[in-house]
Structure 1
Amino acid sequence: MPYRSIAFVASRAPSAQEALTVLGARHGNVPQHLADVIVALGGDGFMLQTLHETQNIGAPVYGMNRGTVGFLMNAYGDDDLLARLDNAEQEVINPLVMNALAVDGSMHEALAINEVSLLRAGAQAAKLRITVDGRVRMPELVCDGALVATPAGSTAYNYSAHGPILPIGSGVLALTAMAAFRPRRWRGALLPKSAVVRFDVLDATKRPVMADADGQSVRNVVSVEIRSEPDICHRILFDPGHGLEERLLREQFV
C-alpha cells in the first residue's frame, strides 16, 4: 500500500536528529495517530522502544539505521524513502509477556520483543527452578542467569549466551542458560511458542535475582512467568530481500 502520511521519530544521536530534520522537511511529519507508517531513526534499542510505544497505534514501523546496531533496521538513505516504503515487505512478530513477583509482594508486568532474562544480582550464582506448562522440568539450575527469547530476539542476548538462532516463522522459543554451573554447561531448550515458562528463585534472599524485559527491570524477584502474547502484533517493514528471515539466515553463515 502507498504510505504518504509519515510520522518520524528519532533517537538522541546527532546523526538521527540530523536525519529527522532532513526527512521531516522533505516529507512532512504528522502526529503518530494520523500516520500511515512510522519511520524510526536510530539503532536497534531505539527501534524496540518505538515498537513498544506505538503498539496500540496500528501503523507499521520502518526503521533506518542511525545507530551502532541495526539488525531490525534498514540502511539509511534520504532520497528515495517513498519508493522504499511502497516496496517494503512486512514481518509480524508477537512479544513475550513477563509477570514478575518481587520479594515485597508486588507484581510487575512488562512486554519484551527480544527476550525476558533473569540475572543474578549478587555475588553468588542464582538458583532457579524451571517449570514449563505446569510441569517442573528442572528442579534446580545453578547459573548466572537464564532467558527466554523470541525468534526476532534470538540473535541478540540469546545468541551471545550461545543460544540458537530461530527462524522467524518457526513457532519456537529459546530457553537459554548463562554460565550454567549445575547441570554443568546446560545450554537450554527449544520450546513451542505456546509454552508458559515459570522460573522460581530458590533462596531469593541469599541469592538475589533481577528480571528484565527489553530493558524494563524488576529487582529481587521470587518468581517470573513468561508467555507469548498472540493478541499483540508488531508490524515491521523491511526493504525487499532484507527481512528478518534473510537476516537470521545470514547470521548463521558469517
Structure 2
Amino acid sequence: MTKICVVTNETQAAEAAAARLRDRYGLVSLKEADFVVALGGDGLMLQTLHKVMDSDKPVYGMNFGSVGFLMNTFSEDTLAERLLASQRTRIYPLAMEVLDASGQRRTALAINEVSLFRSTYQAAKLQISVDGEVRLDELICDGALLSTPAGSTAYNLSAHGPILPIEAPLLALTPISPFRPRRWRGAILSNRAVVKFVAHEAQKRPVSAVADNVEFQNVLEVTVREDRSHGVTLLFDPGTSLEERVLSEQFRF
C-alpha cells in the first residue's frame, strides 16, 4: 500500500481538496509517508522540499497556486498510480555561508538561488570571486544572485539571467539592475565553483543575503557552493518532466 502525506498552502480550495484525498486514500503523517503531495504553488513546493531534504522523501506537487511551474495538474483520481508512474528529477541545493557585521557566521541552503540585495536607497558595491580569484572587483548594483538549474527559470530569469538545462553541471551568476559595469550581464559557472561576494562600504551600503526564503541582514561576506550532501526528488507526470518544462521555457515569447 502506497503511504501518502498531503501538505497544503492552507487556502480554502487546497484544504477542501486535501480532505477529499484523505477520505479516498487514508493519508498518513510526513514521517510515515512514502510520498509527499503538495497542494499549492511553487512557494509551497520550495517550503516542502526544504522540509523533506533530510528524509529524502519524493514530492509530487498539484497546482493550487498561480504559476505552478513545479506543479502537476490537480486530479483526485488514481493518485497512487500517478505517483508510482511519475518521472523523477533529482536536484541539489546551494550552501550559503555568511559573515555578518556582528562577526557571526550563519548558513542556509537554497534550492532555487542565493541572492544579495541592497538594504537601503544606496546601491550595493559587491566584489565577486570565483574559486579564490577576484573576477569582478566592484559591481555597483541592486544586487546579484547565483542560481541552480532548477531555479534558473525563477528569479534568475526575471533578472535576465540564462535558463540552464536541468541536468547541466552549471550555475548562473546574474546581476540585479547593474549600474557599473553597465555591459556585464553575468556568467555561467561550473557547479563545482565556489563563489564569494564581499560587500564594499558595508556600513554605508548595507546588504542582505537570501537563500530561498531565509534572509540574513548586514552581511559582509557571502560564500556559495553546490552541496551534494543534500538533495531532493521532484515527481512529474510522464511527458511533463522538469527537464521538458525548462526546455520549453526557452522557446516562449
Q: TM-score, normalised by structure 1?
A: 0.97
Q: Could you report, residue by residue, the CA deviation over 1:209-238 in whole angstroms, capped at 9, with x for unpaired residues?
A: 110011111111001000000111101110
In the alignment, does 2:74 pair up with 1:79? no
SS at match of 1:147: strand
CA contact (8 A) 1:13 1:67 kept: no
Partners of 1:199 and 1:224 within 8 A in 2: yes
The correspondence for 1:167, drawn from 165, 168, 184, is 165
Once residues 113 and 75 of structure 1 are traced to their aligned partners in structure 2, the CA distance between those partners, rounded to angstroms, is 22
**2:194 equivalent in structure 1:** 196
Aligned CA RMSD, in angstroms, stands at 0.9
- 3-state DSSP class of the match of 1:127? strand
Q: 1:100: which partner in 2?
A: 98
2:68 corresponds to 1:70: yes
Matched residue, 1:40: 38
Inter-partner Cα distance in structure 2 for 1:108 and 1:75: 38
Deviation at 1:185, TM superposition (A): 3.3
Q: What are the Cα deviations for residues 1-49 of structure 1, in whole angstroms up to 9, with x where unaligned?
A: xx71111111111121111111111111112121111111110000000
Residue deviations 1:52-89, cap 9 Å, x none?
01111222111111111211111111112122112100
DSSP 3-state at the match of 1:74: coil
C-alpha separation between the residues in 2 aligned to 1:103 and 1:16? 42
Query: Do the aligned partners of 1:179 and 1:185 also contact (CA within 8 Å) in 2?
Result: no
Q: Is the 8 A contact 2:57 2:232 kept in 1?
A: no
SS in 2 for 1:32: coil
1:212-223 equivalences under 5 Å are: 212-223=210-221
Counterpart of 2:234 in structure 1 is 236
Cα displacement string for residues 74-122 of structure 1 (whole angstroms, at most 9, x for unaligned residues): 1111112122112100000000011011111111111100000000111
Question: Aligned partner of 2:64: which letter?
Answer: R
Query: Distance between the aligned counterparts of 1:159 and 1:59, measured in 2?
Result: 28
In the alignment, which residue of structure 2 is the partner of 1:28? 26
Letter in 1 for 2:168: S
Aligned twin of 1:137? 135
Q: Is the 8 A contact 2:86 2:237 kept in 1?
A: yes
Q: Distance in 1 between matches of 2:22 and 2:106?
A: 37
Q: Deviations over 1:105-156 (max 9, x none)?
A: 1111111000000001111110000011111111111111000000000000
Q: Tell whether the 8 Å contact from 1:10 to 1:42 is kept in structure 2 after alignment.
A: yes
Percent identity between the two aligned chains: 54
Task: Indicate conservation of the 8 Å contact 1:32/1:57, yes or no.
Answer: no
> Can you give the 5+ residue segments of structure 2 that lack an aligned partner in the other structure?
none
Task: Give unmatched runs, 5+ long, in structure 1.
Answer: none
What residue number does 1:151 align with? 149
Alpha-carbon distance in structure 2 between the residues aligned to 1:24 and 1:187: 48
Q: Which residue of 221, 224, 227 corresponds with 2:225? A: 227
Structure 2 counterpart of 1:246: 244
**Matches of 1:143 and 1:187, distance apart in 2:** 12
> Letter of the aligned partner of 1:151 in structure 2?
P
The one-letter amino acid paired with 2:235 is: L
Structure 2 residue 113 is the aligned partner of structure 1 residue 119: no
Which 10-residue stretch deviates more, 176-185 or 113-122? Answer: 176-185
- Equivalences, count: 252
